[in-house]
């Protein structure tokens, strides 16, 4: 097998829903239970990638294939598997869950900051996204952070949302260099803040966007009073990453599978994940590392 890392950068708010809720939010996003970090399930990512190939096939108005391209159909089967009950096959691409690397939050200075924590960094190290750095220990405390005072500091503190955090040093050179190699971070490292795992969990749980929806009556142009609900969205500018494994399948190599994915990513600059794509949600940039 061969491994690559798929980085996912949200260009617009993202809603990958967890279903209904008994809490204050009617439609929450899916999260890890223990950390409260938002995630994108591997099944969602694999479905979006597979659709990039399937969209090239010719369909009727019911979505049924009417003039399938033989070569493209074979490539879909090779990369993502076939569900035919009589000839089920595993695909060459195995896509993991997308984990949180850096979460954007409002900052009293510089507009916003990207927040990460030791558990997020250590996962990225183990998964192979961040290299040249040893795993971190969570020794900051819930009132401390590492950040650039010059960019984000106010009287030796950084204020994230309504939470002031004391400066406990700048980011280490090793951590900064590792993040600079992540696509999209090279010129934005001064906005990165390292906080405790508890602080990141709190911010990820409370600093997502909440959008209120209501149905408008076509005749009066006013709210009907029905269908009022709120929806939680992961904010734009959030960094996720997902491990992608390639296996030799159907007489073709791991390298061929990775190269096929690279070609497709290069041909599409914007990808849509989750709900409400027709109203601008879930637009993302993907990079294979």
In this predicted model, what pLDDT tens digit does every residue of 205-216 receive, in sequence order? 999 999 988 888
- Measured on CA atoms in the order 289, 272, 184, 238, is the torsion positive or negative? negative
Nearest-5° Cα angle at 254, 252 to 259 = 95
Give the integer Cα–Cα distance in Å for 118 and 195: 8
Q: What is the pLDDT of residues 57-96, one digit of tens each?
A: 655 566 665 555 555 677 888 899 876 656 667 889 999 9
Q: Are strands 163-167 and 144-146 parallel, antiparallel or unpaired?
A: parallel
Residue 268 clears pLDDT 80, i.e. is over it: yes
Give the integer Cα–Cα distance in Å for 233 and 208: 6
Residue 239 clears pLDDT 80, i.e. is over it: yes
Residue pair 14/39 in contact (Cβ under 8 Å)? The answer is: no
Structure tokens that stand for 134 in this block: 């040893």
Question: What pLDDT score was predicted for residue 229?
Answer: 86
Residue pair 151/187 in contact (Cβ under 8 Å)? The answer is: no
Give the integer Cα–Cα distance in Å for 238 and 95: 19
Structure tokens that stand for 224 in this block: 């009907």
Residue 149 clears pLDDT 90, i.e. is over it: yes
Structure tokens that stand for 120 in this block: 């997020």
Q: What is the pLDDT of residues 32-65, one digit of tens each?
A: 999 999 999 999 999 999 988 877 665 556 666 5
Q: What is the pLDDT of residues 173-220, one digit of tens each?
A: 999 999 999 998 988 999 999 999 999 999 999 999 999 888 887 777
Question: What pLDDT score was predicted for residue 85?
Answer: 58
Residue 128 clears pLDDT 90, i.e. is over it: yes
- Residue, of 121 and 187, whose pLDDT is higher: 121
Question: What pLDDT score was predicted for residue 105?
Answer: 98
Residue 251 clears pLDDT 80, i.e. is over it: yes
Inter-CA distances, 141 with 72, 202, 288, Å: 53, 13, 34
- For residue 227, name the pLDDT band (cuts at 50, 70, 90): confident
Q: Which residues pair with 9 in a beta bridge?
A: 239, 285
Q: What is the pLDDT of residues 97-107, one digit of tens each?
A: 999 999 999 99
Strands (DSSP E) contained in the chain are 2-10, 58-59, 65-67, 93-95, 99-106, 112-116, 144-146, 157-160, 163-167, 192-195, 209-213, 229-233, 239-246, 271-272, 283-288
CA-based Rg of the chain, rounded to a whole angstrom? 21
Percent of the chain with pLDDT over 70: 91
Q: What is the mean pLDDT of the chain?
A: 90
Query: What are residue 34's phi and psi, to 5 degrees?
Result: -85, -30
Structure tokens that stand for 267 in this block: 């041909």
39: which DSSP letter?
-
Give the integer Cα–Cα distance in Å for 129 and 240: 11
Domain residue spans of the chain: 1-16+42-96+236-289, 103-207
Q: Quick one: which of 96, 115, 90 has its CA closest to 105?
A: 115
Counts of helices then strands in the chain (DSSP H, E):
7, 15
**What global pTM score does this model have?**
0.90
């Amino acid at each position: 097998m061969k491994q690559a890392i798929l980085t996912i950068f949200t260009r617009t708010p993202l809603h990958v829903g967890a279903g209904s809720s008994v809490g204050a939010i009617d439609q929450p996003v899916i999260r890890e239970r223990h950390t409260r970090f938002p995630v994108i399930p591997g099944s969602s990512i694999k479905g979006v990638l597979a659709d990039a190939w399937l969209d090239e096939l010719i369909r009727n108005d019911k979505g049924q294939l009417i003039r399938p391209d033989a070569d493209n159909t074979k490539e879909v089967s090779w990369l993502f598997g076939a569900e035919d009950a009589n000839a089920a096959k595993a695909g060459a691409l195995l896509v993991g869950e997308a984990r949180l690397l850096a979460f954007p939050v409002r900052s009293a200075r510089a507009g916003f900051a990207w927040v990460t924590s030791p558990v997020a960094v250590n996962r990225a190290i183990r998964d192979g996204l961040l290299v040249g750095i040893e795993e971190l220990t969570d020794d900051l405390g819930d009132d401390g952070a590492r950040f650039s005072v010059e960019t984000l500091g106010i009287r030796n503190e950084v204020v994230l949302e309504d939470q002031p955090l004391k400066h406990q040093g700048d980011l280490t050179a090793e951590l900064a260099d590792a993040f600079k190699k992540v696509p999209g971070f090279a010129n934005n490292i001064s906005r990165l803040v390292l906080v405790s795992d508890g602080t990141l969990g709190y911010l990820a749980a409370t600093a997502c966007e909440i959008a209120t929806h209501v149905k408008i009556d076509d005749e009066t142009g006013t709210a009907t009073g029905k269908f009022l609900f709120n929806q939680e969205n992961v904010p734009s500018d959030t960094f996720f990453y997902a491990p992608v494994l390639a296996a030799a399948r159907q007489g073709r190599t791991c390298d061929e599978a990775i190269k096929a994915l690279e070609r497709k990513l290069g041909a599409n600059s914007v990808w849509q994940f989750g709900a409400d794509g027709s109203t601008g949600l879930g637009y993302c940039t993907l990079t294979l590392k």
